[in-house]
């Protein structure tokens, strides 16, 4: 017997309920439900779908994310193409690839663009609940828009998603916002931060000391309890904002207030890349332990120019699908199911042809119908019909076929009635009841 092969550690199969006995991750029906919700919300907000490659040039992420970020230094799946020597990487996030596509195809030539995508991303890190080596992300971007109105739109789009999924404001999730100002404001804040950290060297852990001069903003996001008081006392970027940055943030807050969206200003909410500016936001939850962020976004007005395009403002957010669906699972929120209308019993070989014609006609009316396959006794097939969750069983016995009829049995109350095979569309609506 050949050796059994398993999936790569940290890369998971998403299975239907009929074969998933453990339900470590949400089942495939839940993913389909989420996909349907996303497509509805994106269409409602006027965002267009885009698909970019899973493999990109390594240089794209080095330039886009920065050489000193954890993703580039430790987590990327990178390799050399054996055919031509190109240095390639499995994408660790979506924004860089989207901006590359926008620049390459001059996609902003006719004006601003609202787009979204979803798919697998890859990071080589220690797998844990809600954090996997292959994970899936929803990514939404508004490119060419510089005002706080679109910042508010993206935040409220997130709220629309949570509501469609059945999450409750304040109970299951909350919103945190901050502003990063502009580059010169951040430079002044950065100098003050470094001075503060240098004055507290004895409190910094080894990771913070390493980041102190290369990426001091990331120290503000530390989870080390011993550093919390020192970080709380650090200079706040809000105190370094100029008039334009403050006006943008105040306008965003006013829009969220008018929309009835609660939020908390979190001055420690930062981004490690220099191209981020002004608005940043996160949706968080207390129901997933340390993996509390379910969605994060921000304005990155400098990235398009950094990628070789004509300078243009942009803002977007990314959402970890596994983590969000784990939250749905943790809260016991069951996605609505499109119930199977009927299970067609095929007790003899002579019934196969009329059964296939029948179920195809019923499916053409929009009904979900399963036809039994693989033979088996009438009793065994009825057991499968009961286990399928179908509302009705369609029985094509010899007597029914001889009279051009099908027996329709209600699997809930046991009532049954004969219907004509010749015109199933005439009685198909009764299967929806």
pLDDT given for residue 68 in this prediction: 56
Distance CA 2, CA 430 (A): 51
Which parts of the chain sit beneath pLDDT 50?
none
pLDDT given for residue 41 in this prediction: 96
* DSSP notation for 82-143: TTT--EEEE-S-SHHHHHHHHHHTTTTTTS-EEEEEEEEEE--S--BTTB-SEEEEEEEEEE
Other C-beta atoms closer than 10 Å to the C-beta of 123 total 20
pLDDT given for residue 66 in this prediction: 66
pLDDT given for residue 87 in this prediction: 93
Question: Which CATH class for the 342-432 domain?
Answer: alpha beta
| pTM, 2 dp | 0.84
pLDDT given for residue 433 in this prediction: 62
Question: Which CATH class for the 28-182+242-330 domain?
Answer: alpha beta
Q: Do domains 28-182+242-330 and 342-432 have the same CATH topology?
A: no
pLDDT given for residue 70 in this prediction: 63
Distance CA 427, CA 358 (A): 12
In the chain, where are the structural domains located? 28-182+242-330, 342-432
pLDDT given for residue 47 in this prediction: 97
Please measure the distance between the N-terminal and C-terminal CA atoms of the chain and give it in whole angstroms.
50
Distance CA 387, CA 340 (A): 11
pLDDT given for residue 338 in this prediction: 65
pLDDT given for residue 44 in this prediction: 96
pLDDT digits (tens, 9 = 90+) for 89-139: 999 999 999 999 999 999 999 999 999 999 999 998 888 877 889 999 999
Distance CA 405, CA 385 (A): 19
- Please enumerate in sequence order all residues whose Cβ is within 8 A of that of 159, keeping only pairs 6 or more positions apart, or say none: 169, 175, 261
Distance CA 317, CA 93 (A): 11
Q: Backbone phi, then psi, for 161, in 5-degree steps?
A: -60, -45
């Amino acid at each position: 017997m050949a050796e059994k092969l398993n999936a790569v550690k940290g890369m998971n199969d998403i299975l239907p309920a009929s074969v998933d006995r453990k339900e470590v991750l949400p089942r495939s029906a839940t993913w389909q439900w989420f996909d349907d919700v996303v497509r509805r919300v994106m269409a409602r907000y006027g965002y267009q779908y885009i698909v970019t490659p899973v493999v990109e040039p390594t240089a794209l992420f080095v330039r886009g994310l920065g050489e000193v970020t954890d993703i580039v230094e430790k987590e990327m799946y990178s390799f050399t193409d054996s055919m031509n020597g190109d240095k390639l990487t499995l994408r660790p996030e979506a924004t860089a690839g989207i901006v590359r596509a926008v620049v390459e195809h001059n996609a902003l030539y006719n004006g601003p663009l609202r787009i979204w995508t979803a798919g697998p991303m890859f990071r080589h890190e220690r797998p844990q609940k809600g954090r996997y080596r292959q994970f899936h992300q929803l990514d939404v971007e508004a490119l060419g828009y510089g005002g706080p109105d679109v910042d508010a739109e993206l935040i409220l789009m997130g709220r629309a998603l949570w509501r469609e999924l059945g999450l409750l404001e304040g109970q299951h999730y909350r919103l945190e916002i901050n502003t990063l100002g502009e580059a010169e404001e951040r430079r002044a804040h950065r100098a003050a931060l470094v001075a503060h950290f240098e004055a507290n060297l004895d409190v910094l852990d080894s990771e913070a000391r390493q980041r102190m001069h290369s990426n001091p903003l990331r120290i503000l996001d530390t989870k080390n309890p011993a550093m919390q008081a020192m970080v709380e006392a650090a200079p706040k970027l809000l105190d370094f904002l100029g008039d334009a940055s403050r006006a943008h943030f105040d306008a965003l807050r006013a829009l969220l207030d008018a929309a009835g969206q609660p939020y908390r200003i979190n001055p420690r909410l930062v981004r490690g890349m220099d191209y981020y500016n002004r608005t940043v936001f996160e949706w968080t939850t207390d129901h997933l332990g340390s993996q509390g962020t379910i969605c994060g976004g921000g304005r990155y007005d400098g990235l398009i120019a950094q990628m070789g395009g004509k300078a243009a403002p942009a803002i977007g957010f990314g959402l970890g699908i596994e983590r969000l669906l784990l939250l749905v699972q943790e809260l016991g929120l069951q996605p609505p199911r499109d119930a199977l209308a009927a299970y067609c019993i095929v007790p003899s070989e002579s019934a196969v042809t009329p059964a296939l014609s029948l179920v195809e006609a019923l499916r053409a009316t929009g009904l979900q119908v399963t036809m039994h396959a693989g033979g088996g006794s009438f009793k065994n097939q009825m057991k499968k019909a009961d286990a399928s969750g179908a509302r009705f069983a369609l029985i094509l016995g010899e007597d029914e076929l001889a009279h051009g009829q099908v027996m329709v049995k209600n699997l809930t109350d046991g009532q049954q009635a004969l219907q004509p095979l010749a015109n199933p569309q005439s009685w198909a609506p009764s299967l929806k009841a």
